[in-house]
Amino acid sequence: MSYLMINHLEKSFGPTRVVKDFNIAVEKGEFISLLGPSGCGKTTVLRLVAGFETPSAGSIEIDGRDVTGLRGNQRNIGMVFQAYALFPNLTVAQNVGFGLKVAGVARTEAAARVAEMLDLIGLPDLGGRYPFQLSGGQQQRVALARALAPQPRVLLLDEPLSALDAKIRVSLRQEIRQIQQQLGITTIFVTHDQEEALSMSDRVVVMNGGVAEQIGAPFEIYNRPATPFVAGFVGSHTAFAAQIVDPAAGIVTLGGAQLKLGQTLAARPGATVRLALRPEAAHLGTADGRETVLTGRIAQVNFMGAIIRLTAMVGDTALTLDTFNRPDTPPPPVGSSVDISVAARDFIVLDAG
Amino acid sequence: MTDFPATKRHQKTDAKTIPAMARRKRSVGSVFSWAVFVFGVLYFALPLIGMIEFSLRKRRGTYSFDAYTSVLNDSQFQATFTYSVVMSLVTILLGMILVLPAALWVRIRLPRMRPVIEFITLLPLVIPVIVIAFGYLRMFNTSSLLPMTGSVTGTNILLAFGYATLALPYMYRAIDNGLRTLDVQTLTEAAQILGAGWFTILFRIMLPNVFTALLSGAFLTFSIVLGEYVFAALLDRPAFGPYMIWTGGNRAYEPAALAVIAFTITWGCMGLIQLAGRLFPHTRAQR
Ligand SMILES: Nc1ncnc2c1ncn2[C@@H]1O[C@H](COP(=O)(O)OP(=O)(O)O)[C@@H](O)[C@H]1O
Ligand SMILES: [Mg+2]
């Protein structure tokens, strides 16, 4: 049995159901991200786990024990908030030691633990400062240390990086992940930033309208999105409508060309199937192993540094493709005609209807 | 590390680069504000100086502290003043115990009720004290279900509750202002998830953070209770307010001396608030 089990969790505020039949089994030491647009219920799930909200239905178990009926201060969970929420009247050391003091840990033991935590977050000398004397990134690291000090069973983070500027966000992302792995603490991380979710997590839960649309490793979520929503929300793609020729063999026609997809289809021949293509799956020019060649006209060139994102009109479809920047190869000019090669198995099937 | 020094430096350079015309405009503005300031000082200081001067003239032909010694040696003064100070401390405690948890509760659990609660706390300012006092007397007289006025202790308790009512608008506003600077909801949750109960949240987190606000509420309560007349007179308690009125009607120089004493106490309290604010390092930043 898994360490943290969330079973058929439901939450309604008045008539609105904000979380619908949410299920997940989290292994000990696993890093799970809840990813979804604003208002999809991520925070609510986290607050249900924390014990700040009571579920309308369903149960939450930690380490084999049902905690659904326990209040927030009885669950031994650590939490980091978007707004840091450090206690302004306490020093950094007192903030970090707060949970230990509440738990009645002996003074010397607590002091040692606080020092250990401050070392862990790389701020060993700032114990005597007050929160207002710290930068945002430092405050959030102190908040992390405060959450970890009492050795909680589960760590919850609600968009902890959203209030920080871009550079710190990326470095703190790595730091949090590294600390999490070092301590082996079971973690749920809420974010609306797919890059954060994909780069940090063992598994990602993509949420939409209170429902977990897909749960899987970042590689799986990105390459095999289970629903059109997941395909659209995680990464970008170009959508195509193709006609099924042979569902059992996965053969369709697209703009006159016949493609053999990497999977079989359920619908009958003649039906329309929606396909998606990631920008990196389309290749400028011809190449071995990319048997389908489309002709397009370059409509837009976005130079982004390491990557150049091109938009090409293939028939009526605006196809997005990425190429790596190479100093000796300038991107094709707008209006030029180009060959674009694609491997049929790289098409993602969105739905068969 | 901290970005405070940097910010300050920026402000300085900004001041240097202000064009000359703007600076001239500013100097006209500053002359005007100085004029207002001087007028204000005169407006408040002259009566005060007059009163102090008058209070020193009890002995014919020369200045003396006779009026003060007479007041301070009056056993009535000592008794009523002590009584009112004790009553004000009780009132402050009562007010805090009632208002702090209530204000917190409203912020955390019933944010939509805030306007209603605010209105209720304003009622003591709208309803004349005498109405409240008569209401109390009707509710708690000797022939009522809860005959508070039947004993001295009961009457004292009733008076403290009456004072707390009068202080409610100031106490609530002071505490609510203090809470406004905090993210009460998130801080509460942050403390809860670390295992803290309500007692810890109230006394280790909220109270220290609203302490200066509480002090100003306490100080206002103190001055209200010290000068309050109607409640004390109607309940027939030996308080400082009725004593001041009585002295005013029966003596010449002593009322002025009393007023100066009261004024000094008031200013002393304000000084104490400033001092207390400085004792809390974390409040320095918020100014
Ligand atoms: N206490 C509440 N009362 C009523 N509605 C709420 C409450 N908390 C959240 N909601 C609603 O639930 C939905 C999901 O909110 P939330 O979990 O905060 O989303 P997210 O964190 O994904 O942005 C939103 O539509 C929000 O308005
Ligand atoms: Mg949220």
Q: Report whether pLDDT(B2) > 50.
A: no
CB < 8 Å to A150, chain B: 194-195
DSSP string, A298-347: EEEEEE-SSEEEEEEEETTEEEEEEEE-BTTBPPPPTT-EEEEEE-GGGP
Q: Please answer whether residues A276 and A240 qualify as being in contact, where contact means their C-beta atoms are separated by less than 8 angstroms.
A: yes
Listed in sequence order, the residues at least 6 apart from B43 whose beta carbon sits closer than 8 Å to its beta carbon are: none
DSSP state of A268: P
For residue B221, the SS3 value is helix
Q: Report whether pLDDT(B14) > 50.
A: no
CB < 8 Å to B193, chain A: 50-52, 72-73, 75, 77-79, 147
What residues does each domain of chain B span?
A: 4-45, 73-279
Q: Please answer whether residues A99 and B249 qualify as being in contact, where contact means their C-beta atoms are separated by less than 8 angstroms.
A: no
> Ligand 1, closest atom to CA A41?
17
CB < 8 Å to B205, chain A: 87, 89
| Cα-based angle A210, A212, A213 (whole degrees, multiple of 5) | 115
CB contact under 8 A, A79 and B190: yes
Residue of A nearest to B283 (CA): A89
Kindly report the protein residue whose alpha carbon is nearest to atom 24 of ligand 1. Answer: A39
Identify the residue with better confidence: B116 or B2.
Answer: B116
Residues 168-187 on A with a CB inside 8 Å of B are none
Q: Which helix (H) or strand (E) holds A238?
A: strand A238-246
pLDDT one-digit tens code per residue, B149-185: 778 888 899 899 999 999 999 999 999 988 988 899 9
pLDDT for position B9: 42
Nearest ligand, CA A18: 1
Residue of B nearest to A131 (CA): B282
Closest C-alpha to A57, from A5, A22, A32 = A22
Share of chain B above pLDDT 90, in %: 23
Kindly report the protein residue whose alpha carbon is nearest to atom 7 of ligand 1. Answer: A13
In this complex, which of B182, B193, B282 lies closest to A77 when CB atoms are compared?
B193
Cβ of residue A42 lying under 6 Å from some atom of ligand 1: yes
Any CB–CB contact under 8 A between B189 and chain A? yes
CA gap A65, A3 in Å, rounded: 9
Phi/psi of residue A298, each to 5°?
A: -65, 125
Mutation probe of ligand 1 site: the residue of A13, A22, A34 with most atoms within 8 A of C-beta: A13
CB contact under 8 A, A79 and B285: no
Mean pLDDT over residues B260-283, rounded? 77
Any CB–CB contact under 8 A between B191 and chain A? yes
Q: Report whether pLDDT(A43) > 80.
A: yes
Any CB–CB contact under 8 A between B279 and chain A? no
CA gap A89, B178 in Å, rounded: 13
- Which ranges of chain A does DSSP label H, i.e. alpha helix? 42-50, 92-102, 107-120, 136-148, 166-183, 194-200, 218-223, 228-233
Nearest ligand, CA A39: 1
Mean pLDDT over residues A252-268, rounded? 84
CA gap A310, A346 in Å, rounded: 18
Q: B5: pLDDT confidence band, cut at 50, 70 and 90?
A: very low
Please give the CATH architecture assigned to the domain spanning B73-279. Orthogonal Bundle (1.10)
Tell me what the pLDDT averaged over chain B comes to. Answer: 83
In this complex, which of A85, A90, A134 lies closest to B186 when CB atoms are compared?
A85
In this complex, which of B183, B193, B196 lies closest to A50 when CB atoms are compared?
B193
Helices B254-279 and B240-250, packing angle to 10 deg? 150
Site from A132, A159, A165 to mutate, B interface, most B CB atoms within 10 angstroms: A132
> Ligand 1, closest atom to CA A190?
21
In this complex, which of A73, A78, A103 lies closest to B192 when CB atoms are compared?
A73
DSSP state of A72: G
User: What's the A44 CA to ligand 1 centre distance in angstroms?
Assistant: 6
pLDDT one-digit tens code per residue, A56-113: 999 999 999 999 999 888 899 999 999 999 999 999 999 999 999 999 999 999 999 9
Identify the residue with better confidence: A265 or B20.
Answer: A265
Share of chain A above pLDDT 90, in %: 73
In this complex, which of B3, B4, B205 lies closest to A87 when CB atoms are compared?
B205
Cβ of residue A108 lying under 6 Å from some atom of ligand 1: no
Cβ of residue A210 lying under 6 Å from some atom of ligand 1: no
Kindly report the protein residue whose alpha carbon is nearest to atom 6 of ligand 1. Answer: A13
For residue A38, the SS3 value is coil
Closest C-alpha to A144, from A202, A92, A210 = A92
| B207, B265, B273 from B216: Cα distances, Å | 13, 14, 7
Any CB–CB contact under 8 A between A112 and chain B? no
Q: Report whether pLDDT(A351) > 90.
A: no
Identify the residue with better confidence: B24 or A49.
Answer: A49
DSSP string, B90-149: HHHHHHHHHHHHHHHHHHHT-GGGHHHHHHHHHHHHHS-HHHHHHHHHHHHSTTSSS-GG
CB contact under 8 A, A87 and B187: yes
Q: Report whether pLDDT(B24) > 80.
A: no
Site from B193, B212, B214 to mutate, A interface, most A CB atoms within 10 angstroms: B193
pLDDT for position B80: 92
CB contact under 8 A, B194 and A99: yes
CB contact under 8 A, A73 and B193: yes
Phi/psi of residue A10, each to 5°?
A: -135, 145
Q: How far is B99 from chain A (nearest CA, A)?
A: 21
Share of chain A above pLDDT 70, in %: 99
Q: B281: pLDDT confidence band, cut at 50, 70 and 90?
A: low
Q: Please answer whether residues A279 and A320 qualify as being in contact, where contact means their C-beta atoms are separated by less than 8 angstroms.
A: yes
Any CB–CB contact under 8 A between A79 and chain B? yes
pLDDT one-digit tens code per residue, A209-255: 999 999 999 999 999 999 989 999 998 889 888 889 988 888 898 87
